[in-house]
Amino acid sequence: MAFKCDICGKGPRAGNRIIRHGLEKKKGGIGLHTTGITARRFLPNLQSVHVREGGTVLTKRVCTGCLKAGKIVKA
């Protein structure tokens, strides 16, 4: 089962975790230096919800954006 919203298709996004060391220039240092970059994933906030669809009740994984927007009808 893919980690995706069943309504809008929102899925994981790729990004970086950036480690910086040093003292900022405005605090009297020589500036921040990047000392490490690690790949990471930003996961959507998915909730398992009972949805009424075509007269039947199904369990779907829906992102909170779709829940707030009212794109589904809860059972």
Domain for residue 29, yes or no? yes
Residue 65 lies in a domain: yes
**4 inside domain:** no
**C-alpha span between 32 and 55 (Å, rounded):** 58
Read off the pTM. Answer: 0.75
The range of the structural domain enclosing residue 21 comes to 13-69
Write out pLDDT tens, residues 3-58: 999 999 999 999 999 999 999 999 999 999 999 999 999 999 999 999 999 899 99
Q: How many domains does the chain have?
A: 1
